[in-house]
C-alpha cells in the first residue's frame, strides 16, 4: 500500500475516533470559508490586474477603441474552451443546484480552476457580467471535492456546498448576514441550528480572509445623509412596482436571448454574433463595460455625467431628460449586454449586473419624481441604493437576501423600512408574473429543483432507477396457457407478468388473478393463449420523460400497485407502490434528520 494512502487512512480513522461529526462539520466550515475567501480574493485580484493592464493603453493608444476589448476577451475564452478545457462554461448557481438534486452534491474537479481562468478573461476585458457566480462555482467545487475526499455523506456535503456559496458572497461583498440568507433562500436549506451555525462560521471565516488580503475597503462608498421620511412611502411603493416589472423584463430578456443563441450549434457562430452585438452596445452605451461598480458609485455620489461616460450625446447632457433617457437605456440594455456576454461564451454571474440595472432604474425614478414639476423631492442616492434591492428581490426571488445585502454593503441600515417596502413589492410582482427565476427555470423543467416544499424536494432527490424492479418473467402473446403456467407462473415469485412481442415492446400484462379461475382446467392448456387473458396496464412510466413527481402522480391517479416502465419504446421493468413508498420514506428521513 502506498505511503500516502496509509497516511490518508490513518487520518480518517483518527478523525472518526476523536472528532465528533458535529465538531468536524464546524471545522470544515472554517476551512471552506477560508478557501472560499481565497478564491474570491484571487478571482477579484486577477480580474483587477487585467483591467489595470488594459487601462494603460497597451493594446490601444486610442481609448475610443476600448469597446473592442470585450470581443478580444471572449475570443480568448473561446480559444481556451476549444483547445484547453474542452468543456463549455455553465452557469454557476443552476449547475450547483442540479448537482445537489441529481448528483448527490458531486461537482467536477475542473470547476475548481476553470472559472478562475475564464471569468477574469471575460470580466477583465470588459464583459458585462459579474464575478460572484464564478467565485461561487469554484468555491462550491472545492467544497464538494473536499467532502468526497473526507467521506462526507450527501446531506452534509450539500450543506458544505451552501457554506462555500455563502463564503464567496461574504468575501466579495463583506456581507456575512446576507450571505447566510442567500444560502437559505436560494439553496432552500431549512433554517435550523444545524444548518445556520456552519453557514455563520463559513461566512465569518471568509469575511476575515477578505479583510486580511484586501483590508477594510468597501465596494460602495455611501453614507446615508437623508433618512426615510414617511411622506416618501408611496414613492418607494412606486419604485417597488417599477423594479418588479423590470425584474420580469430582465428574466424574459434573458430567456429570449438565450433561446435565440441556442439556435446556433456552433460556438464560433455564437461568439461572432455575440461579440459584434456587445461591441456595438458598448460603443453607444459605455457604462455597460465590465461589472459596473464604478457606475453605481458615481450615481450614488451624484456624478451623473461621470457615470454615463463618453457617449454620442455628450453635447445634450445639460438637459436632465436626456440624462434620464440615457440612464433608462442602461436599465434596458444591461440585461441584454449581460445575456449576450453569456451567450457568446463568456463566464460570469448575474447578481452584479442586476445591481447595476437596479441602481440605474432607482436613479431614473428619483430624477423623474424630482423633475416632474410637482414640487416633490426625494433622495436620488437613496433611490439608487434601494433600486438595487428591488431588482435583486425580483430577479432572484430572494427578498431577504436583497434587503440585507444592500444594507450591509452600503451601511444603509437606516433605510431598512424603504428597503423592505421596495423589495417586498418587487418580489410579489415578479412572483405573480413568473413561477421561476433565471436560476430555476431549466431545473424546474427537468424536475431537478429543490424547494422548501419537502415532499417535492424528496421526490426530486429520489432516482427512478433505484425503484425499478426487473425480476419479472416475460410472456409472449402466442404462448399457450400451459406454456405460461410451466414457464412463467411456476418459476416466478411475482403475481404479475409483462407480455412482450418479438421486438421487446410491451403489449399487455397479466395478473395471477386473471387466470386463477382457469389455471387448473387442463382442457384449456392448449386451446387458449396468453393473448386471451392479457390486458393493458392502468398507466405507463416512461423512463426518458417521467420524473418521480410524475411517477407518484400516476400511482395516485391509477390506483395501481404496479406500473410498467418503458425505455426506448421497450419494456424495461416495473415500479411497485410498496417499494416506491419505502424509498420515499427512507429519503424523507435522510432529508429531514
* Residue range 348-401, pLDDT digits in tens: 999 999 999 999 999 999 999 999 888 889 999 899 999 999 999 999 999 999
498 pLDDT higher than 90: yes
The pLDDT assigned to 215 comes to: 77
The pLDDT assigned to 190 comes to: 66
The pLDDT assigned to 118 comes to: 93
Q: What percent of the chain has pLDDT over 90?
A: 47
**Top-ranked range on mean pLDDT: pick from 10-14, 104-108, 574-578:** 574-578
pLDDT tens-digit readout, 506-558:
999 999 888 888 888 888 888 888 888 899 999 999 998 888 888 999 999 99
Rounded Cα distance between 223 and 178, Å, is 19
541: helix, coil or strand? strand
Which tops the pLDDT comparison, 448 or 203?
A: 203
Tell me which CATH code domain 3-214 carries: 1.10.3080.10
**Top-ranked range on mean pLDDT: pick from 319-323, 370-374, 386-390, 490-494:** 386-390
- Cell numbers linked to 492: 416466478
pLDDT tens-digit readout, 425-437:
999 999 999 888 8
576: helix, coil or strand? strand
Question: Angle 21-55/154-173 helices, nearest 10 degrees?
Answer: 40
Rounded Cα distance between 580 and 570, Å, is 22
The pLDDT assigned to 61 comes to: 45
Average pLDDT for 110-124: 92
Average pLDDT for 322-334: 92
Q: Where in the chain is the domain with CATH 3.10.580.10?
A: 456-592
Tell me which CATH code domain 456-592 carries: 3.10.580.10
- Residue 381 contacts residue 302 (beta carbons within 8 Å): yes
142 pLDDT higher than 50: yes
| Tally of CB atoms within 10 A around 27 | 14
Look at residues 153, 240, 190 and name the one whose alpha carbon lies nearest to residue 430: 240
59 pLDDT higher than 60: no
The pLDDT assigned to 357 comes to: 95
Rounded Cα distance between 192 and 170, Å, is 20
63 pLDDT higher than 70: no
pLDDT tens-digit readout, 21-38:
888 899 999 999 999 999
The pLDDT assigned to 154 comes to: 84
Residue 132: pLDDT band with limits 50, 70, 90: very high
161 pLDDT higher than 70: yes
- Residue 388 contacts residue 355 (beta carbons within 8 Å): yes
The pLDDT assigned to 411 comes to: 67
Rounded Cα distance between 478 and 379, Å, is 84
The pLDDT assigned to 188 comes to: 74
Q: CA geometry: angle at 53 spanning 44 and 87, to 5°?
A: 55
Give pTM, 2 decimals: 0.83
Q: What percent of the chain has pLDDT over 70?
A: 94
Q: Where in the chain is the domain with CATH 1.10.3080.10?
A: 3-214, 230-452
Residue 191: pLDDT band with limits 50, 70, 90: low
Residue 77: pLDDT band with limits 50, 70, 90: very high
Mean pLDDT of the chain: 87
Q: Given CATH 2.40.50.100, say whether it is the number of domain 230-452.
A: no
Residue 509 CB burial class (10 angstroms; 0-12, 13-18, ≥19): buried
Amino acid at each position: 500500500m502506498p505511503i500516502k494512502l496509509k497516511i490518508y487512512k490513518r487520518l480518517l480513522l483518527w478523525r472518526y475516533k476523536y472528532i465528533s461529526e458535529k465538531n468536524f462539520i464546524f471545522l470544515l466550515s472554517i476551512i471552506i470559508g477560508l478557501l472560499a475567501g481565497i478564491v474570491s480574493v484571487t478571482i477579484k485580484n486577477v480580474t483587477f490586474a487585467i483591467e489595470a493592464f488594459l487601462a494603460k493603453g497597451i493594446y490601444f493608444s486610442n481609448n475610443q477603441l476600448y469597446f473592442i476589448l470585450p470581443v478580444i476577451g471572449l475570443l480568448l475564452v473561446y480559444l481556451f474552451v476549444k483547445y484547453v478545457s474542452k468543456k463549455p462554461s455553465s452557469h454557476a448557481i443552476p449547475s450547483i443546484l442540479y448537482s445537489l438534486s441529481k448528483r448527490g452534491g458531486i461537482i467536477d474537479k475542473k470547476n475548481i480552476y476553470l472559472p478562475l481562468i475564464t471569468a477574469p478573461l471575460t470580466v477583465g476585458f470588459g464583459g458585462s457580467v459579474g464575478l460572484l457566480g464564478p467565485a461561487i462555482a469554484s468555491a462550491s467545487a472545492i467544497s464538494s471535492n473536499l467532502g468526497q475526499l473526507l467521506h462526507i455523506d450527501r446531506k452534509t456535503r450539500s450543506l458544505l456546498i451552501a457554506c462555500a456559496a455563502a463564503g464567496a458572497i461574504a468575501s466579495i461583498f463583506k456581507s456575512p448576514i446576507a450571505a447566510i440568507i442567500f444560502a437559505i433562500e436560494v439553496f432552500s436549506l431549512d433554517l435550523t441550528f444545524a444548518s445556520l451555525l456552519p453557514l455563520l462560521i463559513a461566512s465569518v471565516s471568509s469575511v476575515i480572509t477578505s479583510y486580511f488580503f484586501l483590508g477594510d475597503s468597501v465596494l460602495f462608498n455611501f453614507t446615508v445623509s437623508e433618512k426615510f421620511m414617511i411622506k416618501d412611502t408611496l414613492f418607494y411603493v412606486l419604485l417597488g412596482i417599477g423594479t418588479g416589472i423590470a425584474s420580469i423584463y430582465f428574466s424574459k430578456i434573458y430567456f429570449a436571448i438565450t433561446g435565440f443563441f441556442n439556435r446556433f450549434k456552433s460556438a464560433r457562430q455564437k461568439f461572432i454574433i455575440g461579440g459584434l452585438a456587445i461591441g456595438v452596445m458598448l460603443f453607444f452605451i459605455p457604462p455597460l463595460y465590465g461589472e459596473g461598480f464604478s457606475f453605481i458609485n458615481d450615481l450614488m455620489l451624484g456624478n451623473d455625467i461621470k457615470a454615463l461616460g463618453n457617449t454620442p450625446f455628450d453635447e445634450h447632457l445639460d438637459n436632465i431628460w436626456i440624462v434620464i433617457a440615457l440612464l433608462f437605456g442602461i436599465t434596458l440594455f444591461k440585461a441584454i449586454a449581460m445575456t449576450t456576454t453569456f451567450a457568446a461564451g463568456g463566464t460570469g454571474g448575474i447578481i452584479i449586473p442586476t445591481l447595476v440595472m437596479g441602481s440605474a432604474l432607482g436613479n431614473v425614478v428619483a430624477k423623474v419624481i424630482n423633475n416632474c414639476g410637482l414640487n416633490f423631492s426625494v433622495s436620488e442616492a437613496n433611490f439608487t441604493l434601494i433600486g438595487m434591492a428591488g431588482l435583486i428581490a425580483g430577479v432572484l426571488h430572494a427578498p431577504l437576501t436583497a434587503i440585507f445585502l444592500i444594507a450591509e454593503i452600503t451601511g444603509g441600515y437606516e433605510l431598512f423600512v424603504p428597503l423592505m417596502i421596495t423589495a417586498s413589492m418587487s418580489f410579489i410582482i415578479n412572483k405573480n408574473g413568473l413561477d421561476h427565476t433565471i436560476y430555476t427555470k431549466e431545473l424546474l423543467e427537468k424536475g431537478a429543483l429543490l424547494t422548501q416544499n419537502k415532499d417535492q424536494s424528496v421526490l426530486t432527490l429520489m432516482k427512478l432507477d433505484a425503484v425499478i424492479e426487473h425480476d419479472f418473467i416475460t410472456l409472449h402473446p402466442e404462448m399457450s396457457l400451459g406454456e405460461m403456467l410451466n414457464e412463467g407462473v411456476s418459476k416466478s415469485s411475482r403475481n404479475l407478468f409483462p407480455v412482450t412481442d418479438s421486438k421487446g415492446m410491451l403489449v399487455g400484462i397479466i395478473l395471477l388473478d386473471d387466470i386463477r379461475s382457469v389455471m387448473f382446467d387442463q382442457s384449456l392448456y392448449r386451446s387458449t393463449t396468453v393473448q386471451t387473458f392479457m390486458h393493458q396496464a392502468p398507466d405507463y412510466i416512461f423512463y426518458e420523460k417521467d420524473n418521480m413527481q410524475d411517477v407518484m402522480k400516476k400511482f395516485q391517479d391509477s390506483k395501481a400497485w404496479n406500473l410498467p416502465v418503458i425505455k426506448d419504446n421497450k419494456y424495461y421493468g416495473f415500479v411497485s407502490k410498496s417499494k416506491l413508498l419505502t424509498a420515499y420514506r427512507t429519503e424523507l428521513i435522510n432529508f429531514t434528520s
